């Protein structure tokens, strides 16, 4: 039976296998590994910092805090695809700017309404608080109410007690403190500007999450 074997064919097959393995080894060492290394370098130098930017943006928007970023996206225009760079530009330059402008306008509007009402209608309470020597009531009130209002919460004396117990303690020392409810009712009135802010925030967070998922693929 061995005499019938075609050793030339067998040796040719073995040679082909060894040639394939050699080519595979060369591909792995000269193409696959360098590509993998290059991809890893890009991930660490480009995509991870970009992902950090997006995460910071999402956190800042969620907490209603000022945007403080290293802005890595501005340095990668020639390192990522034009399509991805366009998305980053839209997120950080266009949508984020629109949102933070709306946020600033709403904060200013709430501050103005609070200050105006205190001085026009609650001057007695303001003077009583001032006499305690613990600061200006208008600033303390604004700090206590601005975030709840921006988050769509109804501001009440109970909420101030929970969020700013020291402020509430001082207010209790003022004879006119119950009149503060009039200010809170005034601030709780419907504010169309807040609806624009909420819509902008929602759109921004949805788009940021999409880009976040895209960056994690690299």
Residue 71 host element (H or E): none
Q: Does any domain span residue 6? A: no
**Cα atoms found within 13 Å of the Cα of residue 91, Cβ hemisphere only:** 28
17 within a domain of the structure (yes/no) = no
The H-or-E segment that residue 60 falls in is helix 48-62
Please tell me the distance from the alpha carbon of residue 108 to that of residue 113, in angstroms, as a whole number. 9
pLDDT at residue 100, as a whole number: 92
User: What 3-state DSSP class applies to 42?
Assistant: helix
- Structural domain that includes position 176: 37-218
Please give the pLDDT value at position 32: 54
CA distance linking residue 28 with residue 39, whole number of Å = 15
User: Nearest CA to 91 among 54, 142, 63?
Assistant: 54
DSSP 189: S
| pLDDT score, position 201 | 93
Cα–Cα distance for residue pair 207/200, rounded to 1 Å: 11
Compute the half-sphere exposure of residue 183: CA atoms within 13 Å on the CB side of its CA. 29
Residue 74 lies in a domain: yes
pLDDT per residue as tens, the chain (218 positions):
455 656 666 666 777 777 776 676 766 666 655 555 555 666 676 888 899 899 999 999 998 888 776 677 888 888 888 999 999 999 998 999 899 999 999 999 899 989 888 888 898 998 999 999 998 888 899 989 998 998 888 999 999 999 999 999 999 999 998 899 998 998 888 888 888 899 999 999 999 999 999 998 88
DSSP 78-101: TTS-HHHHHHHHIIIIIIHHHHHH
Give the side-chain half-sphere CA count within 13 A for 5: 7
- The answer as to whether 20 is a domain residue is no
Q: How many domains are there within the chain?
A: 1
CA distance 33 to 50: 24
Identify whether 160 is part of a domain. Answer: yes
Could you tell me if residue 19 is inside a domain?
A: no
For residue 15, tell me if it sits in a domain: no
Residue 145 lies in a domain: yes
């Amino acid at each position: 039976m061995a005499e019938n074997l075609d050793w030339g064919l067998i040796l040719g097959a073995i040679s082909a296998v060894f040639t394939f393995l050699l080519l595979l080894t060369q591909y792995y060492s000269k193409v696959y590994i360098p590509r993998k290394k290059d991809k890893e370098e890009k991930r660490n130098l480009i995509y991870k910092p970009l992902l950090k930017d997006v995460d910071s943006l999402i956190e800042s928007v969620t907490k209603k805090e000022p945007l403080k970023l290293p802005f890595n996206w501005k340095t990668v225009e020639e390192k990522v695809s034009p399509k991805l760079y366009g998305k980053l530009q839209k997120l950080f330059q266009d949508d984020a700017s629109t949102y933070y402008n709306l946020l600033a306008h709403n904060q200013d509007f709430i501050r103005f309404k609070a200050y105006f009402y205190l001085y026009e209608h609650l001057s007695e309470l303001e003077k009583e608080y001032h006499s305690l020597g613990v600061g200006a009531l208008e600033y303390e009130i604004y700090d206590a109410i601005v975030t709840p209002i921006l988050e769509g919460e109804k501001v009440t004396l109970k909420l101030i007690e929970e969020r700013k117990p020291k402020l509430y303690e001082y207010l209790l020392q003022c004879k006119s403190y119950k009149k503060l409810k009039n200010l809170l009712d005034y601030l709780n009135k419907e504010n169309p500007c807040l609806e624009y802010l909420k819509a902008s925030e929602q759109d921004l967070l949805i788009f940021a999450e999409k880009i976040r998922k895209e960056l994690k693929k690299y």
